[in-house]
Structure 1
Amino acid sequence: MQEVTSDILNYIIEEAAIEVHYQPVVSIVKKSIIGLEGLGRGVYQNELIDPLPLFKKASKDKCSLKLDRLCREKAIENFLEVYGKYKDMLLFLNVDGSTMTDEMADSGFLLNLVNKYNIKPENIVLEIVESKVSNVQALAAFVNNYRSYGFLIALDDVGSGRSNLDRIAITQPDIIKIDRVLVKDVHVDYYKQEVFKSLVNLSKTLGAMVIAEGIETEEEALKAVELGADMLQGFYFATPQKITSSMIKTFNQPIRRVAAHYSDYLAEKIRLQKLKHKEYEEVVKVALADISQVEEKRFDFKLLNIINSYKIFECVYILDTSGIQVTDTVSAYGNYSKHKNLIFKPAKKGDDHSLKKYFYFLKNMKVSKYLTEPYISNATGTLCVTMSCVFKNINNKKYILCVDLNPEIVYN
């Protein structure tokens, strides 16, 4: 690809030499395409020029706003044919946050544009890359003005780079797009899953819908839907391309495939969870039988034997019926995350666990055993689940055995 010079850039702007490619935004629940994101490419001597070098050069030549507006007008103009057949289709338009000024906020350019092409403002989603916004006051004014006209507001690339969560409060977006950096391999990355869920929960609390962008595999799609994404976008469904109304139905195949596989995916997940819980119960049952045969003063010795018997045990310790730890925390050698020693330390004899879920729920739900959701252990700094079980020792006194298990080992 040739370098974008000022002459090439000026030619593209003056001749309106922009080719718009569209990428579908889909809903697995509705089994349909919800909208199209318009992505402008420059055209020079029959060669397509990607938007990144094009806008980079426009920024240097101080004509970003001209290029930005040209791309948006071309995206709307070429969307008309699809809009004529699909009146509920949304058009996602990128708004270059670096061009956000007080004048732009009040210009009414986009309102005039949709009126010119007779498209309803509620069909247009203004997609703002908030990390590029330097004039926050102009951003707030722009959002408030265009929302009052009926446009939808989306924040793009949330969760990546210099993403500032305070912009969510400023813009109060209708849609939040979770960036590819969090979506890639989300089906196998616990940390990404937790961040993803947190963003989904935040969005739902604020009344915003969530789009997971950059979906490239069915596994990523299934996990994103499971974690709460309302819509998906990415190469798995379609690459950005010229689109006509007659092509819309051709994109339904991967949508239907994910939708068909999703119920099987959930059923398999439930089956594996049941199997995992059964295995937890079986190994902990043996440990309970062992520990119940001794008096309290021999608990620590027994725990040392128990921890070395099962590979999935991270830590074991015992509480009394008030939630006070009566043993040291015993861990298999090598389980501790050495670089986290100052913030993650195993609990000691005498520590109070009465407000921990594995004690609090066990006591208040009046059950004999309780299993937590996965979390990062305060003892080791690694992922674990805790199973707590009531038992009686050889002196017929009640205690609670707590076992931190590694959920990643069971099926490896």
Structure 2
Amino acid sequence: MKLEHILNKYDIKIYFQPIISTVNKKIIGYEALTRGFKQDLVISPVHLFEEVKTHHLTFEFDKYVRTLAIKKFVPYYEQNPDVLLFLNFESSLIDEELNFDDFDFYNICKIEKIPPSNIVLEIREDKIENSKKLKNFTTFYKNRGFNIALDDFGMGGSTFDRLSLVKPDIVKVDRSIIHNIHYNFIHSEVLKAISKMCNKIGAIVLAEGVEQDDEILKCLKTDISIYQGFYFSTPQDKIEKEYDNIAQRISDISVLNLKMIKEHKEKKEALLYHTNNYSNYVIEKIKTMNLEDFSCNKIQEFLNQELKLEAMYLIDYHSARQIGETIISGETKKFFQPAQHGDSHYLKEYYYITKTSKDQTFISQKYISHATGNMCRTFAKCFCHDDKDYILCLDILV
């Protein structure tokens, strides 16, 4: 079967889905997506590409739809020379015995008078077995002015070593990580790791498949500002018809983000205020006892349940060693054990920062407690008793 048979069988169109910058509050690009139709029926892209693959026409069809996409992009580029076209192609073809020039990205752009710098080549690196070919391909097209994006990162066999190998301009984090990320602590931490790594190598992170405002707000807290997904717009044949709706969505997110920042600031200030007051109360209690007796029996009676206090422990200011046992309000989980009398806290962030901060207090970011395995923050405060300096630490459940 020849490519003409496929093209006669299906009506092939290119739809655009916008890429949004929440910082610039505008559309910065479009991803070109292939859609097939047969009379009034929509043909699944998966089915379409599988049929093409069955007839060994993957390369020819891939080149055909890339040409359609670049042609469709021309009026958008003419209207806004800064806008980008995110161009998918069958990444597994990189493993084939093809010359990189055969992909024809450069020639098509030259014919349509689109600068390569306006094109982002999306690569599914987990579909490519030969790392050397992957590196050579990306270097080849970078040298010709194209931008490189790793697509669906975090899905399948995506690995961090490919980031250092490819050094992409953009990393598109897969929907499987972004979906309901505001409820998923593990995915949230994975996203932080990806974002941190990308910042180190100078790559921009793009969150794919966003559908809820809460997903975007969570990503914004991870310093991600580029988005794509149904929240802003579904893929459209004529995306310009959605411009007003997209602008409203961008505005909505800006308002929600400012509200979130304000609420987070107020919540943290309230937590700091109440925890500081409670620490003063505990310190006054401690000063009435012999610190050699700092134990569960002596302290348990005034553990503050409203503050969701999980653990309390005392550290010698100068030696960083713990005085007495760790007082736990709940149960510890398997593999987790609270620090014991005499254990060193010298390498702990809260010990160092509390000592060096101006007001000698500190409240940490959220982390998994080594004492219980629960999510908590540590509040630490210095105080003096009988001419000796100490640091009181309170672990608060979050």
Both structures adopt the same fold (TM-score exceeding 0.5): yes
CA distance in 2, matches of 1:120, 1:368: 56
Alignment partner, residue 237 of structure 2: 242
Please say if 1:52 is aligned against 2:67: no
Q: Is the CA contact (8 Å cut-off) linking 2:17 and 2:31 kept in structure 1?
A: yes
Opposite residue 357 of structure 1, the aligned amino acid is E
Q: Is the CA contact (8 Å cut-off) linking 1:13 and 1:66 kept in structure 2?
A: no
**SS at 2:256 equivalent:** helix
CA distance in 2, matches of 1:56, 1:19: 17
Alignment partner, residue 280 of structure 2: 285
CA distance in 2, matches of 1:374, 1:277: 14
72-81 vs 353-362, which moves further: 72-81
Opposite residue 347 of structure 1, the aligned amino acid is A
Alignment partner, residue 410 of structure 1: none
How big is each residue's C-alpha offset from its partner over 1:258-316, in whole Å with a ceiling of 9 and x where there is no partner? 12332232122211211122222233333222222110222113233344755612221
Q: Is the CA contact (8 Å cut-off) linking 2:88 and 2:121 kept in structure 1?
A: yes
CA distance in 1, matches of 2:204, 2:4: 38
Please say if 1:267 is aligned against 2:259: no
Q: Which runs of 5+ in 2 are unaligned?
A: none
Q: Is the CA contact (8 Å cut-off) linking 2:16 and 2:236 kept in structure 1?
A: yes
**Inter-CA distance 52–217: structure 2 relative to 1 (3 Å threshold):** same
C-alpha RMSD over aligned residues: 2.3
**Inter-CA distance 123–15: structure 2 relative to 1 (3 Å threshold):** farther
Residue from 311, 318, 337 that aligns with 2:314:
318
**SS at 1:391 equivalent:** strand
Q: Is the CA contact (8 Å cut-off) linking 1:13 and 1:67 kept in structure 2?
A: no
CA distance in 2, matches of 1:308, 1:27: 44
Q: Is the CA contact (8 Å cut-off) linking 2:16 and 2:239 kept in structure 1?
A: no
In the TM superposition, residue 134 of structure 1 has moved relative to its aligned partner by 1.6
CA distance in 1, matches of 2:65, 2:302: 66
Please say if 1:391 is aligned against 2:383: yes
Residue from 105, 108, 114 that aligns with 1:110:
105
CA distance in 1, matches of 2:53, 2:311: 56
CA distance in 1, matches of 2:343, 2:245: 61
Residue from 15, 24, 31 that aligns with 1:30:
24
Q: Is the CA contact (8 Å cut-off) linking 1:82 and 1:245 kept in structure 2?
A: no
TM-score (norm 2): 0.91
How big is each residue's C-alpha offset from its partner over 1:59-108, in whole Å with a ceiling of 9 and x where there is no partner? 44433222322221221122223223222211101122222135142425
User: 1:352-363 counterparts in 2 under 5 A?
Assistant: 352-363=344-355
In the TM superposition, residue 353 of structure 1 has moved relative to its aligned partner by 0.5
How big is each residue's C-alpha offset from its partner over 1:121-169, in whole Å with a ceiling of 9 and x where there is no partner? 1111001111111222221121111111111100111123321111111
Q: Is the CA contact (8 Å cut-off) linking 2:17 and 2:239 kept in structure 1?
A: no
Q: Is the CA contact (8 Å cut-off) linking 1:288 and 1:391 kept in structure 2?
A: yes
**SS at 2:325 equivalent:** coil
In the TM superposition, residue 366 of structure 1 has moved relative to its aligned partner by 5.5
Q: Is the CA contact (8 Å cut-off) linking 1:160 and 1:179 kept in structure 2?
A: yes
In the TM superposition, residue 245 of structure 1 has moved relative to its aligned partner by 4.7
86-95 vs 181-190, which moves further: 181-190
Alignment partner, residue 184 of structure 2: 189
97-106 vs 151-160, which moves further: 97-106
Q: Is the CA contact (8 Å cut-off) linking 1:391 and 1:401 kept in structure 2?
A: yes
CA distance in 1, matches of 2:155, 2:373: 24
Q: Is the CA contact (8 Å cut-off) linking 2:355 and 2:382 kept in structure 1?
A: no
Please say if 1:79 is aligned against 2:70: no
CA distance in 2, matches of 1:65, 1:24: 26
How big is each residue's C-alpha offset from its partner over 1:178-228, in whole Å with a ceiling of 9 and x where there is no partner? 122222222343333332222222112111111111111122222222321
CA distance in 1, matches of 2:170, 2:73: 20
Please say if 1:377 is aligned against 2:372: no
How big is each residue's C-alpha offset from its partner over 1:340-383, in whole Å with a ceiling of 9 and x where there is no partner? x1xx3221111110121111112233543221111111112221
**SS at 1:219 equivalent:** helix
Residue from 216, 224, 237 that aligns with 1:221:
216
